[in-house]
Each structure stands twice: as structure tokens, then as C-alpha cells.
């Protein structure tokens, strides 16, 4: 007879296979496991948890600090204290690096000048990347614009 923990792992794996409820559709090699407090199974993810970059334009130039606040949410802290929040929308490869795509969904648009409707995406490479650059793009009508490099990403780990 199987033990309860191994049965739960088996059922979770079967659910993911049958119903497509896996966390990511990533193509990346996965890094060290992260454990969620609300889940008995470890979450495996190579995405950066904390990083910063220098932003040299308006609004609010200076160091922008990003921090993962849950499995799929990152907060961006502006130099003036404004906070934007982003939700993971995909995993993928850009400019030769595997990473995470996030969409802005919250923040003071008068301070950030970026809408909260999901029409702004950012891409940041995984912690294992050799070329760490933050990219961004906007949804224009029904089509996404081209990815544009914004700044080098500096991990805080």
C-alpha cells in the first residue's frame, strides 16, 4: 500500500498531465527547488527572485528594484517609493536566454506612465543566464510590438 505523501505526489502529477495545470510551459533547465508554504510539493523555478536595474529615463530615473512576492507575482520598487506589480504570463526564450515574461497589472499609472491593463510586458532572464538584460514591449491594438532591450539586470541573491 502506498503512503499518503507518495499518493498525493502521484495524484498531483496525474492531474497536471491530464488537465494541463502545470505551473510553467518553460523550455529552461530548472534550477534549485523553491518551496511554497501553501503547497506540499516543491516548486522548481529558475526565475530571479530579486534583481535591480538602473533606469535613466522619465518617470523617476534611478535604481529600480524587483522582488518576487509570490510564485507568479513580482513587485517593482521605484526610487520615489512607487510600487508596480506584475504577474507571470509566460516562460520562454528571448535573445538566446530563457526567462520569464510578466505583465503589469497594478501601480499608480500617474507615477509609472505604464497602464495596468496587461498591455505592457517585461522579460527578464533566469538566474542561470549569461546575458542578463531586461526587455519590454507594448500591445498595440491587437499586435505586440517588438521586444526592446531596457537595461542590464543585476541579481540580488
- In the block, residue with C-alpha cell 538566446: 96
* pTM > 0.85: no
pLDDT at residue number 10? 32
User: Using one digit for the tens of pLDDT, what is the confidence trace for 25-79?
Assistant: 332 333 333 333 444 444 467 999 999 999 999 999 999 999 999 999 999 999 9
All three cell numbers of 146: 517588438
User: How far is the first Cα of the chain from the last one, in angstroms, to the nearest whole number?
Assistant: 42
For residue 121, the model assigns a pLDDT of: 98
Q: Is the dihedral of CA 125, 47, 50, 138 positive or negative?
A: positive
**Domain limits, the chain:** 1-157
Residue 8: pLDDT above 60?
no
Nearest to 157 by CA among 128, 115, 122, 117: 128
Report the C-alpha gap between 50 and 154 in whole angstroms: 9
Give pLDDT, residue 44.
61
Give 91-136 pLDDT, tens digit per residue.
999 999 999 999 999 999 999 999 999 999 999 999 999 999 999 9
* DSSP states along 21-34: --S----SPP-SEE
Amino acid at each position: 500500500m502506498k503512503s499518503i505523501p507518495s499518493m498525493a505526489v502521484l495524484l498531483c502529477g496525474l492531474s497536471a498531465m491530464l488537465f494541463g495545470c502545470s505551473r510553467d510551459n518553460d523550455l529552461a533547465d530548472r534550477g534549485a527547488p523553491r518551496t511554497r508554504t501553501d503547497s506540499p510539493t516543491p516548486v522548481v523555478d529558475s526565475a530571479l527572485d530579486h534583481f535591480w536595474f538602473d533606469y535613466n529615463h522619465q518617470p523617476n530615473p534611478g535604481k529600480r528594484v524587483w522582488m518576487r512576492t509570490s510564485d507568479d507575482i513580482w513587485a517593482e520598487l521605484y526610487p520615489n517609493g512607487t510600487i508596480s506589480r506584475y504577474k507571470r504570463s509566460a516562460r520562454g526564450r528571448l535573445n538566446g536566454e530563457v526567462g520569464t515574461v510578466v505583465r503589469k497589472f497594478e501601480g499608480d499609472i500617474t507615477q509609472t506612465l505604464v497602464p495596468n491593463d496587461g498591455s505592457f510586458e517585461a522579460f527578464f532572464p533566469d538566474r542561470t543566464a549569461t546575458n542578463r538584460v531586461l526587455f519590454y514591449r507594448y500591445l498595440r491594438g491587437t499586435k505586440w510590438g517588438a521586444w526592446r532591450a531596457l537595461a542590464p539586470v543585476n541579481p540580488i541573491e
